[in-house]
Structure 1
Amino acid sequence: MTNFKKVMLFCHRWLGFISGLVVFIVSITGCIFCFQDEIQDAMHSYRTVENTGKPYVQPSQLVATVKKAYPKGSPDYIYYFGTERPAAVLVNTGKEGFDYVYLNPYTARITHHEKPQTNFFIIVEYIHLYLLLPPAIGKWVVGVAVIIFVVLMITGIILWWPKRKTDRKRSFTIKWGGRWRRVNYDLHNVLGFYATSIALILAITGLAIAFEPVSRAIYNMANLGKVDYKTEVTEPKSDSLKQAGVAAKPVIDLAFAYARKNVPQAEMFLIHNDPAVSGAIGVGAYAKSMHYSHATGFEFDKYNGKLLKAYIYDKKSAGLKLNEMNYDIHVGQIFGLTTKIIAFLASLICASLPVTGFIIWLGKRKKAKTKSKPTRAVSHRKTHRHLQTGQ
């Protein structure tokens, strides 16, 4: 082995020890989360509703219903998930945190409510993102482990890549008929190789979700540095001093109607009315239900309903489109069930790599000890013979 590969092996081994447990946890939780929509749909009846063919009730009516149930709550976010899915309102209850309230979008009747921290998949998501540590600490622990894992994948390819062309066919297959240690070795190397490209995409999109500088770097690279990020994404603010010309109808209703009229093909809508964000009311119109890419957005003055800014999908820069795809790419839903299965399998392989790698290390350590024992025995026999013969 060359000195270069010895250095690569040293880095691969010890970086694996440092990050292995975190990589295992993050990968396993990623596997579980991949099919969370499908699993929850099968488990919970409140996640589906009958499409009556009637128009949706107005957002203001959903808010009024929720306000009766939560008089002191602030219904800041309103979701219309789709024609056969419920509407939902995220209520800020102050010190008690947030509640999700699900309603029938055709009748405004409350069908279910829950605190996010009691939902199994939300817990899985928080483990995935923060290891249940405080977010400011947890995201750095996970982020550093993911960066180390990227280095491990690169060093692993360097160490494993066969020198001779004649060895490549053998190196790309798992020898299922071999001894279990050989099978474990192949599982680590061969599966690691096949999963690397997908794992790199999952790692980079995960880092982009957690860290704005990574997201900004992707934005700038896709746009070749020609588009100003702040100009494109900065949300407008309504002027609280200019309350003249108050809208005749609730602005959230006007905003929702405008979005439905101008993006009639959209399946899902998200309305934000959080005064802490900008004072404006925004509506996001999404092409597919439960998918968060391919969105067109509108911002309205909170007092008179005037359109302040439009984020038309077709007019967005390539960088912004790519940023908005981060979540759908990361969870594997960007192209439907096929990519979900690919993301699931890649995450499962990533979870196995620290385990198979540790077994390889244990095997080599045990083999080194076994080799050292005969050497000590031979030395002992030679010394004993020397004492007997006096030679």
Structure 2
Amino acid sequence: MTNLKKVMLFCHRWLGFISGLVVFIVALSGCVFCFQDEIQDAMYSYRTVKQQSKGYVQPSELLASVKKAYPKASPDYIYYYGVERPAGVLANLGAEGYEYVYLDPYTAKITYHEKPQTNFFIIVEYIHLYLLLPPAIGKWVVGIAVIIFVVLMITGIILWWPKRKTDRKRSFTIKWGGRWRRFNYDLHNVLGFYATSIALLLAITGLAIAFEPVSKAIYNVANLGRIDYKSEVTEPKSDSLKRSGLAKQPVIDMAFAYARKQVPNAQMFLIHNDPALSGTIGVGAYAKSMHYSHADGFEFDKYNGKLLKTYDYEKKSAGLKLNEMNYDIHVGQILGLPGKIIAFLASLICASLPVTGFIIWLGKRKKGKPKKERIITHRRSRKHQMQKI
């Protein structure tokens, strides 16, 4: 082994010790979260509704229903998830936190409500993102561990890659009938090799979710560094001093109607009704229910309903499209159910790598003991057992 590979092996081993536990937890929680929509749909009846011919009620009716149940609530976000799914309103209750309210989108009747932090999969998500630590601390602990894991995958491939062509067939397959140590070694190396490309993709998209600089870097690289796209990520703001021509009907209803007319085939709509900062109301129209890519967007002045900006999906830059696909790529749903299965298996393999790697290290440590030392240790152990008897 060359000196360079010795250094790489040393780094691979000790970086694995440093990040192993965090990687195990993050990868395992990622496995659980991959199918959260399918599992919750199967478990909870409130996640589906019967489609009706009369169409959706207006967003203002949903807000009125929530305000009646929670007078102090500030409904920040409204979701129309699909024709056979409930509408959802995220209500800000101030010091009491948030309440997520599900409503029938055809009648505005509340069907279920919960605090997000009590939902099992939200807890799993926070474990995945922050290890249940304060977000400002947890995201750095997870982020650093993920970066280390990326280094581990690259150094692992370099260290393991077979030199001779004749060894490659043996190296790329698991010896199922072999001894336990060889079987564990193959699990670590062979499965690690096959999962590397997907694991790198999951790691990069995860870092982009946690860290805005990573997201910006992806945006700039995809756009080849061109600066003329910056206007598309600049959010418009209402001039609160110019309130002339106030809308005759709720702006939120006008905004929703306009978005539906412009994107009639959209299956899901997200309305942000948090105008405190920008003074705008925005509507996102998504091509597919429960998928957060392929969206058109519209921003309106909250006072007079004037259209301030349009985000036409076909005109978006490659960088913006890629960033909007980030979540769907990260959980695998960009490819539908097969993609989720691939993401699940890759995450499961990633969770196993710290375990199999630790077992390899233990085996080498035991194997590395001089024979005489092992005999003495064995005799001492036998003597200790005899004394107990």
TM-score when normalising by structure 1? 0.95
**CA 1:372/1:304 → structure 2, altered by over 3 Å: closer, same or farther?**
farther
2:77 counterpart letter in structure 1: Y
Q: Whose radius of gyration is greater, 1 or 2?
A: 1
SS at match of 1:334: helix
What is the percentage of aligned positions where both structures have the same residue?
Answer: 84
The equivalent of 1:103 in structure 2 is 103
1:194-233 residue pairs with structure 2 within 5 A? 194-228=194-228, 230-233=230-233
2:268 counterpart letter in structure 1: M
1:148 counterpart letter in structure 2: I
Q: In the alignment, is the contact (CA less than 8 A) between 1:251 and 1:302 conserved in 2?
A: yes
The equivalent of 1:359 in structure 2 is 359
1:115 counterpart letter in structure 2: K
Query: In the TM superposition, what whole-angstrom CA distance separates every residue of 1:173-223 from its partner, at most 9, and x where no partner exists?
Result: 000000111100000000000000000000000000110110111011100
Is 2:155 the counterpart of 1:165? no
Is 2:262 the counterpart of 1:252? no
Rounded Cα–Cα distance in structure 2 between residues aligned with 1:59 and 1:376: 78
Q: Shift of residue 376 of structure 1?
A: 8.2
**CA 1:2/1:372 → structure 2, altered by over 3 Å: closer, same or farther?**
farther
Q: Shift of residue 76 of structure 1?
A: 1.1
Q: How many residue pairs align between the two structures?
A: 377
Rounded Cα–Cα distance in structure 2 between residues aligned with 1:83 and 1:305: 26
The equivalent of 1:55 in structure 2 is 55
Q: Superposition RMSD on alpha carbons, in Å?
A: 1.2
SS at match of 1:66: helix
Rounded Cα–Cα distance in structure 2 between residues aligned with 1:229 and 1:165: 48
Q: Shift of residue 239 of structure 1?
A: 1.0
Q: Shift of residue 375 of structure 1?
A: 9.4
Gapped regions of structure 2 (runs ≥ 5)? 378-389
Query: In the TM superposition, what whole-angstrom CA distance separates every residue of 1:83-102 from its partner, at most 9, and x where no partner exists?
Result: 00000100000001111000
Rounded Cα–Cα distance in structure 2 between residues aligned with 1:234 and 1:98: 28
Rounded Cα–Cα distance in structure 2 between residues aligned with 1:68 and 1:202: 42
SS at match of 1:238: coil
Rounded Cα–Cα distance in structure 2 between residues aligned with 1:333 and 1:99: 27
1:268-347 residue pairs with structure 2 within 5 A? 268-347=268-347
Rounded Cα–Cα distance in structure 2 between residues aligned with 1:20 and 1:50: 46
Q: Shift of residue 107 of structure 1?
A: 0.5
Query: In the TM superposition, what whole-angstrom CA distance separates every residue of 1:49-105 from its partner, at most 9, and x where no partner exists?
Result: 001122100000000000000101101110000000000100000001111000000
**CA 1:203/1:174 → structure 2, altered by over 3 Å: closer, same or farther?**
same
Rounded Cα–Cα distance in structure 1 between residues aligned with 2:153 and 2:76: 42
2:104 counterpart letter in structure 1: N
Rounded Cα–Cα distance in structure 2 between residues aligned with 1:244 and 1:147: 52
1:245 counterpart letter in structure 2: G
Rounded Cα–Cα distance in structure 2 between residues aligned with 1:228 and 1:134: 37
SS at match of 1:354: helix
Rounded Cα–Cα distance in structure 2 between residues aligned with 1:332 and 1:149: 20
Q: In the alignment, is the contact (CA less than 8 A) between 1:150 and 1:203 conserved in 2?
A: yes
1:20-99 residue pairs with structure 2 within 5 A? 20-99=20-99
Q: In the alignment, is the contact (CA less than 8 A) between 1:227 and 1:317 conserved in 2?
A: no
The equivalent of 2:384 in structure 1 is none
Rounded Cα–Cα distance in structure 2 between residues aligned with 1:100 and 1:370: 63
